[in-house]
Each structure stands twice: as structure tokens, then as C-alpha cells.
Chain A
């Protein structure tokens, strides 16, 4: 394990017009594709399997293994169906901000990964489902896809290999739930985005009831570097079970927020040092390791290795590596209320626990935030979370409970204080603002 930054995905972000094919190729872009077309699909799958690449979207499922689930036996009905690659670029988790900068700065990295991955699973059609709000990213991706097609990287005969890969950039309509892979598929098919019943799993019946791989942007974008650099190089970074490098998105009360690409297993302490420490005069109060759906951690977890196992052992999840850092000026109650309001707004409404539970949780948190909490409210919150966690249709409901239960675990006294005083008095919002509002008079 190293303690320095390892820019791979972000290496070219500072280049002049890094998003163009010209700039991308100038620094070795599409070399991996040239290598990949000399490999058989199974060789690519094996390569990615052996690299130990795990999904960067949050769950950390081994990417190569996912590709291996696609039925390829032409003797079976599923094997005869067309295969699809779908890239989940519906990045909407509060705090998470890695895929959008990546696609903005270097869309060709993703496009190259898509072509290689599509060839690996024998998909002739790939989709990138982009969060609808980021129109500028959609434009960049479409331009990149056009450039790639012009160069013969996409189309009916990829680099003369005889293989076909078409790429469709699809803009979502602005729903967090569409980041859930089966809801994404429904949305992509033109339906309301709501999670599907599983089984059947997408690997067997995904998009248009055909075998489908759904991968996060960063996972796919990592593929070209693995093809180029090889599994030993890739495995030289990270930890034994969490190999490679990844984007850590540092945000909040930190001196230099931003993307820090580092080997898996780095600690928040190290990242904070790289980021110039907390903002002036502040000290760490709590943080999320991977977006608001991962249970929050505190200063005592500064040295937890930020890999899948390390964060798991600390009682949270690596998630999207969205490190939101909050200092002592922040009201945990207010913060959790904001997150819960988000989940209430984004609950798709399909299942009872998430739909009704978030509705109720918000109202309880609102009164605690207003200093009007009632006796038993904390127990009520915990019990409601217990009735939602693991009872919902998909993980959205589970995620909604994480900030609440973890906040009560570490900061119960602040919730108790909410029975007596409003958070705005205990933690004036102005104090925790990143930029103090200019006083207009």
C-alpha cells in the first residue's frame, strides 16, 4: 500500500481540452482498445476477473465475475438473446461527485472502457444512462461518442476487428431511484423508474428481457488502464481484497475539497492531509465514507483503511467513496434531517416501508430539529428505522435509515438536546456554512 496519490483516471484531467479525442489519444488513449481487439472476449473477462477490480458504484461486486454471469451458450434461449452493456451514470447520491467530473473531464476514458467491456460480454449495443440534470455531461459524452465513431472505435467494425459496438447516451429524467440498476433499466426502456422484482436478475433478463451487465462509470472507466497496465500493475495498488486505485471525493469542511485518486486502503487522515486538513479553525466531527446512504463515522475512525473490508469492519460501507467531512459547527440533527428529506423526496413510492417510513421520519426529525422533540422520539426513530431496514423493496429504504441510526449511535445527546432547543440555536447554520453569506444591506 502506498500513501501517495495514484492518478490514473484523473491523470489527464488537467490537460488542455482533455475531453477531445485528440487530447485523449495524445496521452495514449485508445491504446488499450487496440490491445483489446486482439483478445478474445473470454480473455478480456478473465483479465478483468483476475485484476480483482470491484464495482466502484458502492456495492463492490467483482466486475469480471458480473461479466461472467452473462449466458453465452448459444444452445440456450438466454444465450441466443442480444446482450447489453449499461453504464450507470445516474450519479445522484448526496455527496457523491466522482463520475460526473470524470465524464466531464475525460469522456473518452469511459467510452474506451465501454467498447472493451461490450466486446468482453459480446454486447453490440451499449448504453450510458446519465443523470438528467447534467446536460453538459450529456453533451460531452455525445461528442465523445461521435468522435469515437468517426475514428472507427465505435460502429459496425471496431478497429477492423469485425466486431460491432454501438453506444447510446441516454439522459434520465431526474430521479435518484434510477440509480438502482433495475429501476434504471425500466427507465431506459421508457417506463417509470421503479425497481424490478428479482429474480430474474439483469444478467439473465435485464434490458428488454435480455442478458445485461450494469456497471458504474468508474468501474468501466478503469478497464482500459487494466488492459494496458496489466493485472500486476493494477494489483500493485490497493489492498489484498480491494485492489487498485479509486476516486475519493473529499467535500465539506476541508481546506481543499476535490477528487483525490488514491489506492484503495488509504485513510481519511491521509486524505485530509493531502487536502490541506480541515478548514481553518475547525476539527472533524463526523463524516460519511461513501455518500449519505453509508452510516456516518467520527474522528475515531480517521485511521480506518478506506477499502471495502476496512470500512465494513468499522460498521459502515465504502459506498461511493464520497467523503463528506463535517466539523464541530454542524448539527447532526439538521444534517440528518436534510438527508432524510432527500430520501422522502426520492422514494419512488413502490413499497410501503420506504414510502411511508421516510414521510414519517422527516416529520419526527423536523420537530427534533425545531427543538420540539418529544420523549420517546429517539426510540421511535430507531424503531421506524428497524421497520424500514431490510423490509423495503430495494436499498433506497435501507440507505435512508443509515444516517439516522448511525447519527443516534454516535450523537444521541444531540437528539436529546432537540427536545429542548432548536438546532439553529445550538448550531447556528451560519457557522457551518462553507461560504459565509455576504450581508446585503
Chain B
């Protein structure tokens, strides 16, 4: 943040001096009068004005008198201060000093309420409503309107998730401008005219936007409401807590509103450096996952006789876990990618100091040793690129990254830069997606597997920004090419905890603070900083990655596993994983019952983010600290549980709480010695086979983090297979007909859509209806076969 501030001040700002209500004020050129007035302490009422949207001047609530426009002449009529730029020498009289302005504002307010139902007592917005508040502060107590109000049938669903009460709408066009200007999904628009003007949708195009929930939040009245939250709570009964969203690596600021121990809704926080005032619908609506019936509340231990998991006391469960791990001999640690940095740090220390192993890997997804080396050498401790940089850089190259699906805030920032004409986006991908079209991106059409060559061929310079996605781990040579590039580089994982886990050293070759396992000095550093009784040294041998850990279990080299938030179906080979989980002594630290807990020997329930404090490290490398929202008795962090096991094993970690972990992490600090070398893997080229799969997960999909939100899920994009006309024709598939992709492991069928992919490439969503990993053992750049779907076969 301080870094940003200093950058801001480096830009010379031309100031303009004007007088508002008799007070002289200097503001940057181009400032709107409505915001300049805020600096002299005058809040001009407004509805359509929003600092992040283009001015429209529609509501006419912010009228002021301008006796001198800076040229000695005044405006004869009151002016909308939200569309008027300041000028040197301008004189502005707001409602504070001008009776004309005050009357104009009172008059407009009265007119706004003419067709407003005044149903505040039953309206969701009542209590936090700009119309209600400003009617109180700038309106008159009584209306003179005693005639017939306009009414509409209500509510009108603009999507499954967003409902519209048209009679409440003041037609400020914030929602329509947001969807057009910010999200690029202009599926809501004003239709009809006069007092019948209303927000509407096309006959077959509901408001399906990944960012639709923001319109609810910026609606200055209760016209747009969330189907989930509607009529559920009153704002004044809610307790609001600032927090950080857990669904992607953006680190978006959110506000969590809860009432009597239950989260009622989530809103976007306001962080100009990060997510501005927007969040994705996933961050907004997907918060019920931790309250599903399969939530774990008590420790469970597998009964040796019945083979069932039975509830046990914490002390008992920790003791069983400790004994089991001690008896297992060698143990691997799989923390998963959804942890806070503190929790990941605890796993990292637990593996090294308590279990004496470097067999730890947070990557609960496809990965490679090249990626581990890339993370250790190039990602850890690095923060080269910020959100603000994205909207200013002349060129941003996306490689293996679909920001609209995988990091919505990156998408919005890029779009902002593109719309302002500052940024050009280049995407190394199989095709131009809806998201990349909205970024006006230039496509470097690339067969999956060929990304390394595409990166090298782009001839990037130091002014360019290169954003690489996590699926480049599947493309040999791609991350090596990225590391070798002179461009400003950032790695954008999908999961919120991935980057924090890198910094915490939850990798086989990396220790906390970017320290390489191979460095004796680094290990000595840590042993000294994190004293654990009986531990004189941390293991020097590089550990195994996740895939190797699981294989080691199946061949009996490892006897135990400590598993955090890991979904078996996300893993490179779910079958091998299940096999390993059955063989090993498994201690599972989970929020909800899962495929891992089903096979675990000890299940230790841990707190979801809403019930704990901690830090997510965003893709920028920016620590995003958040406090606990819900205080739930018995809900323990991973830190606390691991500390408990460690103590049972006679090797106390020395910290038990998140705060203690934070303090220790700060004390350990970043490594200033020599870094591990960057990987230098040669490109392998696309996979062999007639058809190569391009895939990633769509924002709204079957991921368990979205459980419990049926209405939100109904807004998901339809799952389709995309391929070129030639590819489909070669497989005998017509546009729109069902198509099946298959591997030896299994198959998945979706309707086929002709798109601009290179011949021999198909795209399918990773987890929409079918989890390709689980069903096909296939991922990005896998070879698959493409054939007509079953129904067509039946017809033939």
C-alpha cells in the first residue's frame, strides 16, 4: 500500500483552484464538482453519480448554482455537479449557500418520490438506503403528491439471483452502466420511456454476469435485491465485519454481515488498491458452503473394530493422531491450497520440525517439479505486479489464464485499462473467450501444450506484464519460459491459499520466507528462529511433490499422511490418491466431510475462514489480513490443531494461535540469501494424439465451495464443448449436437459449439456437470478422443 502511494505521488498532478460555498479549494484537473465539494465538507445529494462509473447526469439530484464558470460568466440554470468538471476560478454554490440550488434539490427529491412506493418498512434497503437517507437529509418531510403512483407486477427476475422491483427504481442507470462499462455484460438495459421506463432484459438473455451482484450493492434504492437475501434481515440487525474473500487469489475486500451467528450476506468492501468496490458473484453469494449438513463439528477417530468413524474428544483424537503418525514412520503432508498463510506456515513447520520431512506439497491439483522450482525461484517473495499496474501497463500477456473465470478482479482491472485505452491484452490461449473478447484481447492461438513456445515467440520486454496461470504447470517448459522472460511477471493461482503457501514454504524444495531447502544456512536460520524441543536440524533432503508422495504411500515408502483441505477429485490421479488414502494412516484436517475424511483414520474438524482470522496472500504477493467474523466455540484453526498434534508428539511448535504464527513469521522474515535456480525445462510441444484438450474451471461451477447456492449456480454458463468446425466435422459432429470427449478412464458429453479453436483442439469446462479430472483423468493439454454424443449415436 505504501508502495502504491509513493507511485501515485510521482505523477505530477495539475491542480485547479475554485471556490465552493465561499471556500477556496484546489483539486486535480478533471475533478467533478460533486467530488471537489466533498473536500470542502459539502455532501451534495446524488443517485446516478458513482465514482467508478462514467457520469450520466440523469437523476438531477446534485444540482448546484454556478454563478461563474471560471470565465466570468455563470450558468443561467442550475448545473448537475456530477457532470461538471472544475475550472480555474469557478464559483460554485451548493445547497449550503444557494437557495436556488437547495430548492432544486428538494424539488428533485420530491419528484423522485412521486413514483416511489415508500415501502421502506418491508424493503431490504430500508436502513441503508441512499434514497431514504437523502430524503431525510435533503428532502421535505411531507410530499404534496396525493395522486396515483405508477405500479408494476413484482418482483421481476432479471436473473435467478437478481430480482427487480421496478416501482422502487429511480432509473439512475447505475446497474445498466455497471453491466456495460465495468463487467461488459450489457444484459440489462433501460427499456420503454417516460415514467414507464424500466430496467429490462432481452427475451432470452437473462442477466447472467459473473459480476451481477454488484448491481444490487450499488443500487441506491431497493429496486435490485438478491433472491437469497430478500426479506431475510434488516440492515440494523446485522453485524458487519470486514474480511477477505476466499474464492480466488485476488484477495478481494469484502464485508460479511451476520446476525445471531449466521452469515446473512456478503458485500464488496472498498479497497481502491485491490478490488475497488467490486467482487465476483462467487465471492458475494457462495458463503453457505461451510454451513452444509456435512460440516464436521467434532473430532472423529476410526474405530478399529467397526471400521467406522466415531466422535471422540479433542484430547483423545489428538493423541490417536500423534500415536498413529509416530508409528507410521515416514509421513507426507498435503495442506491444500485454501489455507491462510498462518495455517500453511504451521503445516510447513510441522512437516519439517515434527515429522522431519520435506515431503510437503500444498498443490492439490495438477503440478510438476518444474512448477515447484518456478515457485521457489521466481514466485516466492516476489511482488512485481499490482492490480493498479494492470490498468496502466501498455501490454499485458495472459498465458494459461482466463481471468474472468479464475481471477475476476484481474479481469475487471484489465477491462478498465483497456477501456481507458491504456492497456492492450494479449492472450495465449486456444481461443478468444467471451472474457477475452470483452478485453478486446489479441489472441495468440495456441494448442494446449504449446504455450512455452508462444511465450518465447512473443518477444516480451521489461515494460510488458506477463500473467501466468496455474495450468501452465501441465505444460513442460512454459514456466521456464516465463521465468526467463524479461517481462514483469506474476503467477496467478486459482485458490486463495496457494500464494500464501508458497511464502510459507509448503513445498518440497522450499522453506518459509523463500528459503531453499538446499541451503544449509537457510535451514539453520529456521531451526534457530523456530525452536522445537529435540529438533537440532531440519531435513536437508528435498522432498516429494504431491504425486510422488501419494505414489510413495502406495508402494509403502510412506506410512502416513497429514491432509488439509484437499479434494480427491482435484488431484492429478484420483484413483492413486484413493489408493494411498486407504493404505496410509491418514490424519485429515477438514471443514466438511469429504472423500479424504471418508478414508481417514483421524478426522479433526477445523474452522472455515469465516470462523477464524488469518492472512491470504494475493497473487500480487499482497498480504490480506482478515479478522474473525463468527466466534464459534470449538472451531479451531489448522494452526491450533497441528500445534496440538505436535505437542502430543512431544515436539511443541512453539505457537498455537494465528497471532503467534504471524509474529513468528514476521520474526523469520524473508530470505536474503541465494535463491534456488529457476527451472530450465525445454518445451515438449503439444500432446500426441488427434485431439488435445483445452480446459479450465468456469467461475460458477460444481466446486464444493459453492454448495448451498442453487440460485447462484443457476446463473452458470452452460457447459459446452468448443471446437473448430473442421474438428467437429472430422468427428462427425454437427454444431449444437451432443459431443463426447473420452479417455481410457471415462467420458463426458456436452453440446458442441463451433468456435475459433485451432483444428485438433477441444475446449470443455473442468467441473461443470462432469469433473474432467475425476471422470476422464484428463486436464489441460491432455490427449482425448472426440466423437458424437450418445443421443446422436442412438439416432444413427
Contacts and interface: CB of A to CB of B under 8 A. Distances in A.
Contacts of A392: 60
B112 A356 contact: yes
A57 B150 CA distance: 34
B114 interface: yes
A387 B103 contact: yes
Given A345-B194, A347-B195, A348-B194, A197 B55 contact: yes
A387 B63 CA distance: 11
A233 B111 CA distance: 52
A197 B194 contact: no
Given A387-B108, A393-B57, A348 B114 contact: no
B770 interface: no
B192 A387 contact: no
B147 interface: yes
Given A197-B55, A391-B107, A355 B78 contact: no
Contacts of A349: 171, 190, 192-197
A348 B197 contact: yes
Interface string A35-68: 0000000000000000000000000000000000
Interface in B673-718: none
Given A347-B195, A393-B58, A192 B190 contact: yes
B388 interface: no
A411 interface: no
Contact of A348 (B76, B103, B193): B193
Q: Which bucket holds chain B's interface residue count?
A: 35 or more
B421 to A, nearest CB: 12
B90 to A, nearest CB: 15
A383 B106 CA distance: 12
Interface in B165-202: 170-171, 189-197
Contact of A352 (B61, B76, B78, B103): B61
Nearest to A383: B107
Contacts of A390: 76-78
Interface in A350-366: 350-353, 355-360, 363-364
B145 interface: yes
Given A356-B112, A363-B147, A351 B76 contact: no
A346 B194 contact: yes
A386 interface: yes
Contact of A197 (B56, B61, B103): B56
B241 interface: no
Interface string B29-68: 0000000000000000000000000011111110100000
B744 interface: no
Contacts of B194: 344-349, 355, 358-359
A420 interface: no
A356 B193 contact: no
Interface in B189-217: 189-197
A350 B59 CA distance: 8
B104 interface: yes
Interface residues of A, number: 31
Contact of A351 (B58, B114, B148): B58
A355 B197 contact: yes
A177 B197 CA distance: 14
Given A344-B195, A387-B110, A352 B104 contact: no
A360 B145 contact: yes
Interface in B73-127: 76-78, 83, 103-104, 107-108, 110-112, 114-115
B contact patch SS: loop
Nearest to B191: A192
Contacts of A323: none
Contact of B104 (A177, A351, A391): A391
Contact of A360 (B56, B78, B114): B114
A354 to B, nearest CB: 8
Given A387-B103, A390-B77, A392-B60, A352 B108 contact: yes
B114 A359 contact: yes
A430 B103 CA distance: 42
B154 interface: no
Contact of B148 (A350, A363, A383, A391): A363
A contact patch SS: helix
Contact of B77 (A192, A355, A363, A391): A391
Contact of B111 (A345, A348, A356): A356
Interface string A376-391: 0000100110110011
B144 interface: yes
Contacts of A357: 111
A192 B180 CA distance: 15
A175 interface: yes
A349 B77 CA distance: 20
B179 to A, nearest CB: 15
A369 to B, nearest CB: 14
Interface in B133-170: 144-145, 147-148, 150, 170
A387 B107 contact: yes
Interface string B462-496: 00000000000000000000000000000000000
Contacts of B108: 352-353, 387, 391
B197 A353 contact: no
Nearest to B104: A391
B174 to A, nearest CB: 14
Contacts of B170: 352
A351 B59 contact: yes
A16 to B, nearest CB: 43
A392 B144 CA distance: 20
A368 to B, nearest CB: 12
Contacts of A364: 147
B60 A351 contact: yes
A175 B196 CA distance: 14
Contacts of A356: 111-112, 114-115, 195
Nearest to B149: A359
Contacts of B150: 359
A358 B61 CA distance: 17
Given A346-B194, A348-B194, A353 B148 contact: no
Q: Which 10 A-B pairs have the closest CB atoms?
A: A349-B197, A387-B107, A390-B77, A363-B147, A356-B111, A347-B194, A359-B195, A356-B114, A349-B193, A349-B194
25 contacts: A177-B193, A192-B190, A197-B83, A347-B194, A350-B197, A351-B57, A351-B60, A352-B108, A353-B107, A355-B171, A356-B111, A356-B115, A357-B111, A359-B114, A359-B194, A360-B114, A360-B147, A363-B147, A364-B147, A383-B107, A384-B107, A387-B111, A391-B60, A392-B60, A393-B60
Interface of B: 55-61, 63, 76-78, 83, 103-104, 107-108, 110-112, 114-115, 144-145, 147-148, 150, 170-171, 189-197
Given A349-B192, A360-B114, A384-B107, 16 more contacts: A344-B194, A347-B194, A349-B194, A351-B60, A352-B58, A352-B59, A355-B197, A358-B195, A359-B115, A363-B147, A363-B148, A387-B104, A387-B107, A390-B76, A391-B104, A391-B107
